[in-house]
Amino acid sequence: MNFLQVTPGIGLTMLIVGTVGMLFMGVMLVLVLILHQKRIIYFNHLTQELEKEKQQFMLQASVKFQEEERQKIAADLHDDAGPLLATARLYLNENLVHQDTATQLQAIFSTRQIIDDTIQLIRNISHDLMPPTLKNFGLDAALADMFDKINNSGKINASARFNDTTKTLEDEQELLVFRIIQELVNNILKHSSAGFIHLTQNSQANYVYYRLHHDGKGLLQEQFDRMEKKSTGLGLKNIHSRVSVLHANIYFEMDNTQSYYKVTLEVPRDYGL
């Protein structure tokens, strides 16, 4: 009889406990969902901020490239073209009409030589800004021309091989790749004491690969990462900035045979500036 009287109370208690437990679990589930949603919002916000920083970096890098080109043009014009034209003006001064014919002819001849030198200087500046081979025939032709000129100098054995002859990159990409390889080659010629330098190009899936091989003194990846952060490593900073704008990757390593260094530039076909 007592058992029958107690049982309804226990049942009610269990019902209350179960209800409270379910409510507690429901509240916890809601809290977990809220925290998860907040975390998603936070990471989305963080991703947007990182994307903004990335876009800002690329914009700053592009502006930096343009400013460097302007400064180089200004320096070339001020240091080279300016003195040449000033000298030509000296030859063509107002007293020239009072000189004898032989002196006048010599002044005219010298002035013509100076004007020819100035024209060549301006042509060189123009070619530095946009190599005509690159503009007219594309990246591979411009790189082949670069290596032919290096090889013809007789100072180093230089060669290039292109395995994929189809146009695989946009014009903006080609210019950036050309500048990167140009900077790398200049560094190798200046600092490595290499006997040969060889360029290969091939493509795989969504990437185009440019590899420089040389037998001189070279860099490994950790050295490049460390040096490009120094204020003195302007050339390496330029390489790093252009690689970032391309959304590309660059790898510095030694061949498995330990006989030469290689630098690999991995460029995605589709990107956005």
Domain boundaries, the chain: 2-126, 132-268
Q: What is the pTM of this model?
A: 0.61
User: Does residue 273 contact residue 225 with C-beta atoms inside 8 Å?
Assistant: no
In a structure prediction context, what are the per-residue pLDDT tens digits for the chain, which is 273 residues long? 444 454 556 667 777 777 777 887 878 888 888 887 777 887 777 777 776 666 666 556 555 666 666 667 777 777 778 888 888 888 887 677 778 888 888 888 888 898 888 888 887 776 666 678 888 888 999 999 999 999 998 889 999 999 987 777 888 889 889 989 998 998 999 889 999 999 999 998 889 999 999 999 988 888 888 876 665 556 777 788 888 888 899 999 998 887 889 999 999 987 654
User: Does residue 85 contact residue 111 with C-beta atoms inside 8 Å?
Assistant: no
Burial class (CB in 10 A: 0-12, 13-18, 19+), 212: buried
Beta strands in the chain (DSSP E): 157-162, 196-204, 207-214, 249-254, 261-268
CA distances to 13, 106, 204 from 8, in Å: 9, 128, 76
What is the DSSP secondary structure assignment for residue 155, as one 8-state letter?
S
Fold of 132-268: Heat Shock Protein 90 (3.30.565)
Which two three-digit tokens encode residue 108?
A: 């005219």
Which helix (H) or strand (E) element contains residue 12?
helix 2-76
